[in-house]
Structure 1
Amino acid sequence: MGRTLKVPHTLILLLGMMVIALMATWIVPQGFFETSLSDSGRQMVVSGTYQVIENKTYLTPWDLLTAIPRAFAAAQDVIFFVLIVGGVLAIARATGTVDALIGRLLEKYGSRPQKLIFMVVFCFAMASSSIGTAGEYIPFVLILVALCKAMRLDAMTAVGMIVAGYGIGYGVSAFNPFTVLIAQQIAEIPVYSGIWLRLAIFIPFVLIGFHHVWQYAQKVKQDPSNSMMIGVACPLDGQVQPSYPKLETRHQVILGSFLITLTVAVWGIATKGWYLYELGGVFIAWGAVIAILGKLSADETAERFIEGVSDLVTTAILIGVARGIALILEDGQILHTLVHSMSLPLSYVSAEISAVGMLVIQTILNTFIPSGSGQAYVTMPLMVPLGDLVGVPRQVAVLAYQFGDGFSNMIIPTNAVLMGIIGMAGVPYAHWFRFCLPLLLKLMVAASVVLVLAVYFGYGLDVQPMIEP
């Protein structure tokens, strides 16, 4: 008699990871690098200053319990943004605009889902590559889930489109200000130098992501029993209509206001340094606008907003607990120890292998330091002198950092944006891991080839600073 392995709920998986992180703080030596303030005011580690803490302090189970509410506080920006977007989209749905838009997209792409998948992956990758968008994709989740369901696909396909674009865009970013710019500044090479290679590999990597999602979508469309979401409730069950309203003028005006909202958000990110608090305010304003345009009463608007928020409470909880894993590791003072220990073996291998090793290290460390800019400030001051020692150009070290940070964003459970996206779509983390792991491995192999060739052909040597003897 065969036995079916029951995968725990995503919340249980995350709590289990917190327990493992706590136990790791008991085993791994505590240590730290000295830090200094960068020109932007961020703390940056100083290479060669690692010290082990002699009087080790041990976290207790009580520290684990108190880390959970602290993690909710630390992730509040993402949590509240997700809740606000859920509420505002519920208002938009009440006007019939979302259903009318889905109907129009079905007319255009219903028989050609491959074009829709490529368009979404490409556009999201472009946005992430250029301006570092991530949490801004959350408003599209439920719309794409509904669209995929109407096309006889599943929520996994919708999430695959979004997250593949997001992760690949960050990984091969041409000029993302939150990753490329910061890493190149730390490496002391010209900002945005070497852009020709990053632009050249953009389309090939996007095609890897598109092919993975489209291959899965084809299997589901041909035989729904191939779906990884069998037995998992869709968040839109009972909400998608068999027939869709016509896209009328008022719907088009509301969609136009949505584009204006996104334009304002992008402008604020690019010129004012806005992030999720400001974006939440922008979407609240949009909610008020569509309530007026849709001629909804104040009471109906409030009811719809609260319904939308309440549907995403589970998602908010997952985001908060996910942040707790990194918080435990920070409290246990073992993050710098992990960075130090992983970087040591690279000094004993060839430059090509060291470049691939940097990719592996950055991938692993992104689990513990899910912030792209935060990871740059911790790891790049160590990887740059290490690269100088073993012959890895600084431009290649930056590229390894980009690949490791960006691609692993698609799968690490400490990434609050990822947990928000899969939570809104109703995709359990274990199911998502099974879908995404093969894609991550494909991207890692391709990235390793690029790094080896980059070292071999001297990518970045033209901007490599002279090292004083």
Structure 2
Amino acid sequence: MNRSHSPSAIVEQVDEAAPSSPTSNKPSKQLNPALILLSIVFMALAFTYFVDSGQFERKDIAVIPGSYQTLEKDSGLSQLFSVEPRTANAEAARPVSLTEAFMAIPQGIEKRAGLIFMVLFIGGMFGVLNKAGAIDAGLERVLGLTKGNIYVLVPCLMLVFSAGSTFMGLAKEFILIVPLMVAMANRLGLPNIIGLAIVAISVKVGYLGSITNPVALAVAQPLVGVPMFSGLDMRVASYFTFLVVGIAFVLLSIRRHGFDSTAQFDFKQSRLHPRHAANLMLLALGVAFLVYASNRWHWKYPELSAYYLALSMVFAVVAGIGASEAAGAFVDGMKKVLMAGVLIGLATAVEIILSTGQVLDTIVNHLSELVGEHGPLVSAFGMFFAQLGLDVLIPSTSGQAAVTMPIFGPLGQLSGVTPQTTVYAFLLGNGLTNLITPTSSGLLVLLATAQVGWGQWARFIWPLLLAFTAIALALLSIAVLIGY
């Protein structure tokens, strides 16, 4: 087996060998995710005309319950073509014009520039590693040692990845892992989406459980007056329940895609070339140090981007790749994830339009009516479904907690829902929608890195989303009944 083959070359060989296979990639039949997001941008624009504008008063980032006020607004269609600059602190609200809607797209790219460049640099770094042949050689070694038994590899990998999310709130750190999992799937004759699922489902399971996830719990629990990280029992039960179902789903998907178990013993187990071994060791140490630095020094996107760039240079030196060749490989790697920048900008444009038209707080206020005083079980379900819907508009976990917890906490107590169950409903609703919402920059980055379209992912993940929803409702019912 030639170790100089890149994972992308392997994908092309698989597609050429089986053009009629249902697992072959057929980009021509997939709806471009940019078009999906662009349609959501215009839906957000329409919201600013047909939904009342209003706002809550806020203390720091948390809304003040009962402070919602409707704002006066001229929703005439003449506003659609307005070019008049929007004045800050205007007494009357105004819907978003076409000009502002289009401007929101480059503004979204500018707002998320740090994230976009980080993703591009990650793509470049793996371009260098692929050029060095380290990933291909490492995968051959791992698959050889395990005899290619993916039924052993998948559960172990998903347990490790989900543990990082549920205990430490890791998410963006796993972008590094996606190309490795995609390459592993390709090596076993499986499509990119299987490699993506191993990572994406693990991360989402971790957030659904959120045993000690600081990203979610550090905001949500204090806002409803419960100690941070309290109420472990139900979250531990959730984590293991969702993890078992998630692993089973991935393994069943592997069988459905026609994984040939007789081919799993064809991998060599020869020793790694010293340059390959050194680069793979550096990659493992680099990921470990990244997790430490992100938590210890709170690295943001600029620091992370610089880190990936520095790692790329080290990988090139260790592999003995010339400067020009390494630069070319870095640029080629960036090209593969370039679409991610556009998608992130479009997703952020939705948030900008809703904020500019001042309709987001109105939507939150109306959804709070689902909770009302309907008894604890109905109110808890109302919170869950409200969080499901809001996650499309507020894909940030901490941002959604800051908006909803101060409102749903008091409403839940009036209906007999404990504060801990209110947080639990938030975790379940937020985690579920993040599996599929097209406005989540985190999901879009994973899709772009794996080169999987949103439509393809939505069709793949839909059965699991339905199963997870049924499990979530059952667990939420138990939480209400036991007074969690």
What is the TM-score normalised by the length of structure 2? 0.86
Determine the structure 1 residue equivalent to 2:228: 191
Q: Confirm or deny: 8 A CA contact 2:205 2:242 kept in the other structure.
A: yes
Distance 2:122 2:147 in 1: 27
Between the aligned partners of 2:238 and 2:357, the Cα distance in structure 1 is 39
Cα gap change, 1:331 to 1:108, in 2 (>3 Å): farther
Query: 1:49-96: CA deviations, max 9, x gaps?
Result: 010001341211111110110010122222111100010111112222
SS in 2 for 1:221: coil
- CA drift of 1:246 comes to 5.2
Q: Structure 1 unaligned runs (5+)?
A: 38-42, 224-241, 460-469
Aligned partner of 2:352 among 327, 330, 341: 327
> Equivalent of 2:139, from 102, 118, 121?
102
- C-alpha distance in 2 between matches for 1:108 and 1:9: 39
Identity over the aligned pairs, expressed in percent?
31
Q: Structure 1: which amino acid aligns with 2:170?
A: T
- 2:63 maps to which residue? 45
The verdict on how the C-alpha distance between 1:33 and 1:245 changes in structure 2, with shifts beyond 3 A counting, is farther
Residues of 2 paired with 1:187 and 1:291: CA distance? 50
Please list, as runs of the form range in 1=range in 2, the aligned pairs for 1:48-447 lying within 5 A after superposition: 48-55=66-73, 56-109=93-146, 111-221=148-258, 247-447=272-472
Q: Is the 8 A contact 1:96 1:245 kept in 2?
A: no
Amino acid at match of 1:401: F
CA distance in 1, matches of 2:269, 2:104: 46
- CA RMSD, aligned part only? 1.9
SS of aligned partner of 1:63: helix
With 201-210 and 110-119 compared, the bigger mean Cα shift is at 110-119
Q: Which residue of 2 aligns with 1:26?
A: 49
Which residue is 1:9 aligned to? Answer: 32
Q: Is the 8 A contact 1:110 1:151 kept in 2?
A: no
Of residues 244-253 and 330-339 in structure 1, the stretch that sits farther from structure 2 once superposed is 244-253
Alpha carbons 2:30, 2:453 under 8 Å: kept: no
- Do 1:362 and 1:405's aligned partners in 2 also have CA atoms closer than 8 Å? yes
Which residue matches 1:226?
A: none
Structure 2 equivalent of residue 228 of structure 1? none
2: CA distance, partners of 1:147 / 1:441 = 28
- How far residue 110 of structure 1 moved from its aligned partner, in angstroms, is 5.4
Task: Using the TM superposition, give the Cα deviation of residue 322 of structure 1 relative to its aligned residue in structure 2, in angstroms.
Answer: 2.0
1:122–1:206: 8 Å Cα contact kept in structure 2? Answer: yes
SS of residue paired to 2:437: coil
Q: Is the 8 A contact 2:141 2:270 kept in 1?
A: no
SS at match of 2:210: coil
Alpha-carbon deviation of 1:313? 1.4
Q: 1:102·1:244 contact (CA, 8 Å) conserved in 2?
A: no
Residue 200 of structure 1: how far off its partner (Å):
2.8
Q: 1:295 to 1:169 in 2, by over 3 A?
A: same
How many residue pairs are counted as aligned between the two chains? 432
Counterpart of 2:476 (choices 434, 451, 459) is: 451
Contact 2:51/2:359 (8 A) holds in 1: yes
How big is the shift at 1:216? 1.2
Q: Confirm or deny: 8 A CA contact 1:100 1:245 kept in the other structure.
A: no
Matched position secondary structure for 1:193: coil
Superposed displacement of residue 111, structure 1: 4.1
Structure 1 residue matching 2:65: 3-state secondary structure: coil
SS at match of 1:126: helix
Deviation at 1:116, TM superposition (A): 2.1
Preserved contact between residue 49 and residue 95 of structure 2 (Cα < 8 Å): yes
State which drifts further: 195-204 or 64-73. Answer: 195-204
Quote how far apart the aligned CAs of 1:222 are. Answer: 5.0
For the residues of structure 1 that align with 2:475 and 2:417, how far apart are their CA atoms? 13
CA–CA distance in structure 1, aligned partners of residues 330 and 179 of structure 2: 15
Q: Which moved more, 1:268-277 or 1:60-69?
A: 268-277
- Once residues 342 and 457 of structure 2 are traced to their aligned partners in structure 1, the CA distance between those partners, rounded to angstroms, is 18
Give the superposition deviation at 1:114.
Answer: 2.1
One-letter amino acid matched to 1:50? Y
Alpha-carbon distance in structure 2 between the residues aligned to 1:329 and 1:369: 10
Corresponding residue of 1:235: none
* Runs (5+) with no aligned partner, structure 2: 1-27, 74-92, 261-266
Q: Secondary structure at the match of 2:211?
A: coil
What is the identity, as a one-letter code, of the residue corresponding to 1:280? Answer: S
The amino acid that maps onto 1:44 is: A
Which of 279-288 and 87-96 deviates more?
279-288
Give the Å deviation of 1:109.
Answer: 4.5
Amino acid at match of 1:180: L
Deviation at 1:277, TM superposition (A): 2.5
Secondary structure at 1:347 match in 2? coil
Which amino acid in structure 1 is aligned with residue 200 of structure 2?
V
Could you tell me which amino acid in structure 2 is paired with residue 442 of structure 1? Answer: A
SS at match of 2:258: helix
Alpha carbons 2:119, 2:337 under 8 Å: kept: yes
CA shift, 1:183, in A, is 0.7
Rounded to whole Å, the distance in 1 between the matches of 2:378 and 2:197 is 31
Task: Describe the SS at the equivalent of 1:156.
Answer: helix
Give the AA of the match of 1:35: R
Return the offset for 1:243. 8.7
